[in-house]
Structure 1
Amino acid sequence: MSLVTALTRVLPHRMLSSIARSAAYSQDPWLKQALIDTVVRRFGVDLAEAAQPDATAYPTFNAFFTRALKPGARTPDPDPRALLMPADGHISQLGAIEADGRIFQAKGRSFTAAQLLGDMQAARVFAGGSFATVYLSPRDYHRVHMPWTGTLRETVHVPGRLFSVGTAAVRGVSGLFARNERLVCHFDTDFGPMASVMVGALLVSGVETVWSGVEIPDYADEVVRKDWRGKGIVLERFAEMARFNYGSTVIVLLPPGAATLAPGLDAESPVKLGQALAYRRG
């Protein structure tokens, strides 16, 4: 286990994330520009594809981090059967959800859909289905979009830790994604249920949705459910769903028989929003 991963086991996660959040929303010209310039330089951010390509024009670091793209910078796969990649980044893992609901995290490590969703009953419909875990790095576009058209049924804010979700932590922390603070978004689609799970991380724990604004923080001490049935919240394929105020990981769960994962995708594959994640069956 790396030293950084070991340290995150004892660090005051929420306090550090709150401090980072204050810095991210600061309008102090020197601080926000220093943060923006550091990330652009260190991670090679391509601002040419941003709707606002001028790095000095953003009022806060968070405004830069959640920047919009130019129209046409990302387009959906033209195959109408394609379920779309929900975000830029790279594949952490993807594959089958085992019959017992187990989801592969890294060599020797896994977690269950019930643990991830915070709900054993909701997890049952995904047993034997498929999943994709997409990690967003600091250089990436940090808005998450819909893989397929869906009607929002419920959100579940599951309390937890705020471990790093970098490669070392994924390999070293058992059940990482089912331990971190997260927002589970349940949708009904024409092939059945679909879940998109927005997973927080150390220093990158803010989650905001298009239908209700900021969801995390506040951090939760117990599971918080919101019932959206009957509210008519329908999000089309490729539409923006949520964003990370700072970035992290999104996990998509699909039920058995719904779709076949797109060929050529493996752990560490770089991906772009809108490319094919899977293909609808039937």
Structure 2
Amino acid sequence: MSLAKLFSLIQYPLPHHLLSRLVGRLAECRQPALRNALVRAFIRRFGVDMAEAAEPDPTAYATFNDFFTRALKTDARPIGEGVVSPADGRLSQFGAIEAGQLLQAKGHRFSAMELLGGDGDAARHFLGGSFATVYLSPSDYHRVHMPFAGTLTEMVYVPGRLFSVNAATTAHVPNLFARNERLVCHFDTEHGPMALVLVGAMIVAAIETVWAGQITPLPRGEVQRLRFDTPVRLEKGQEMGRFKLGSTVVMAFAEPLSFADGIEAGDKVQMGQSLGELAK
């Protein structure tokens, strides 16, 4: 048995939510000595480039979470043409949504309907469309931005497990992104409906949005929907949310996306990097 398979199997019995909430409490610690020790150890371990940060002094952050979700300098991530990456990370998979299915990893597909919380009407918008998945490792910048402009119409919290979302788990846990806790954000755009799905993961303490603040964790284990009668308009490249520790963003587009030449699954991408062009 491979180490990747073993790593995936041992996650099944773990108390995902308990572990994540405990890590979350530690990450919110305001005791200076502990906070600074955590931040410095993290910078050394993952080679974080603080020169990109709007606040480069690692001791200036009130909590580890504030450091982890730090803003970048305004010129650190230029915004490219067409559809751009919503985050720094690894473009784990991308392509067409075929028969309502998205590719998770070789040998594993999952349904758009399950990803969107069992909403068949919403999933039908994406038949014949495209998707792209970006995995954010702990070392990446952890704010999520708009791949292009849109108006928020609905936000859906979907409860679930909190498996790791790294490459090993993605390759061995079926329906991973449709099993984990997630936040589905629906937008109207000039190219039709778009869904940005912020997927939770083990030791991800919380998911936040710019319009509603911290969303997860929620105490009730049921799908919760919130419609927006007052429009929330976000422009291309504008921040829409953030993760407190690493996770994954799944983008679903109603229109086919012509991906940029030379782009391949597994490539490192940066927020604002052009991924391709949608049909006009």
Shorter-chain-normalised TM-score: which range?
Answer: over 0.9
Contact kept? 2:142, 2:245, Cα under 8 Å: yes
Aligned position for 1:69: 72
- Give the structure-2-normalised TM-score: 0.95
Superposition pairs of residues 205-220 of structure 1, within 5 angstroms: 205-220=205-220
1:127 aligned partner, one-letter code: L
DSSP 3-state at the match of 1:177: helix
What are the Cα deviations for residues 67-99 of structure 1, in whole angstroms up to 9, with x where unaligned? 00011001111x3xx11110001111111110x
Superposition pairs of residues 146-165 of structure 1, within 5 angstroms: 146-165=146-165
Deviation at 1:2, TM superposition (A): 3.4
2:236 aligned partner, one-letter code: R
Query: What is the distance in 2 between the residues matched to 1:159 and 1:5?
Result: 20
Query: What is the distance in 2 between the residues matched to 1:109 and 1:217?
Result: 27
Q: Say if 1:201 and 1:94 are closer, same or farther in 2 by CA, change over 3 A.
A: same
Superposition pairs of residues 28-177 of structure 1, within 5 angstroms: 28-77=31-80, 79=81, 82-98=82-98, 100-118=99-117, 119-177=119-177
Deviation at 1:268, TM superposition (A): 1.1
Deviation at 1:256, TM superposition (A): 3.0
Which structure 1 residue ranges, 4+ long, deviate > 6 Å from structure 2? none
Deviation at 1:3, TM superposition (A): 3.1
DSSP 3-state at the match of 1:56: helix
- Give the structure-1-normalised TM-score: 0.95
Query: What is the distance in 1 between the residues matched to 2:7 and 2:151?
Result: 40
Query: What is the distance in 2 between the residues matched to 1:38 and 1:275?
Result: 29
Deviation at 1:205, TM superposition (A): 4.2
Contact kept? 1:128, 1:255, Cα under 8 Å: yes
1:202 aligned partner, one-letter code: M
Deviation at 1:31, TM superposition (A): 2.1
Deviation at 1:278, TM superposition (A): 2.0
The number of equivalent residue pairs is: 276
Contact kept? 1:152, 1:234, Cα under 8 Å: yes
2:269 aligned partner, one-letter code: V
Query: What is the distance in 2 between the residues matched to 1:263 and 1:163?
Result: 33
Deviation at 1:263, TM superposition (A): 2.2
Q: Say if 1:219 and 1:162 are closer, same or farther in 2 by CA, change over 3 A.
A: farther
Query: What is the distance in 2 between the residues matched to 1:247 and 1:114?
Result: 24
Aligned position for 2:22: 19
Q: 1:270 aligns with which of 257, 268, 271?
A: 268
Query: What is the distance in 2 between the residues matched to 1:150 and 1:43?
Result: 34
Aligned position for 1:204: 204
Query: What is the distance in 1 between the residues matched to 2:94 and 2:50?
Result: 29
1:134 aligned partner, one-letter code: V
Deviation at 1:238, TM superposition (A): 0.7
What are the ranges of 5 or more consecutive residues in structure 1 without an aligned counterpart?
Answer: none
Contact kept? 2:23, 2:205, Cα under 8 Å: no
- The CA RMSD measured in Å over matched residues stands at 1.2
1:260 aligned partner, one-letter code: S
Query: What is the distance in 2 between the residues matched to 1:105 and 1:173?
Result: 10
Aligned position for 1:239: 238
Deviation at 1:4, TM superposition (A): 2.7
DSSP 3-state at the match of 2:59: coil
What are the Cα deviations for residues 197-234 of structure 1, in whole angstroms up to 9, with x where unaligned? 00000001411000011111125411000001x31210
What are the Cα deviations for residues 133-169 of structure 1, in whole angstroms up to 9, with x where unaligned? 0001111110000011101000000000000001110
Aligned position for 1:253: 252
Superposition pairs of residues 1-20 of structure 1, within 5 angstroms: 1-20=4-23
Query: What is the distance in 1 between the residues matched to 2:66 and 2:35?
Result: 10
Contact kept? 1:196, 1:250, Cα under 8 Å: yes
Contact kept? 1:97, 1:126, Cα under 8 Å: yes
Please, which moves more after superposition, 31-40 or 104-113? Answer: 31-40
Deviation at 1:280, TM superposition (A): 2.9
1:267 aligned partner, one-letter code: A
Contact kept? 1:162, 1:205, Cα under 8 Å: no
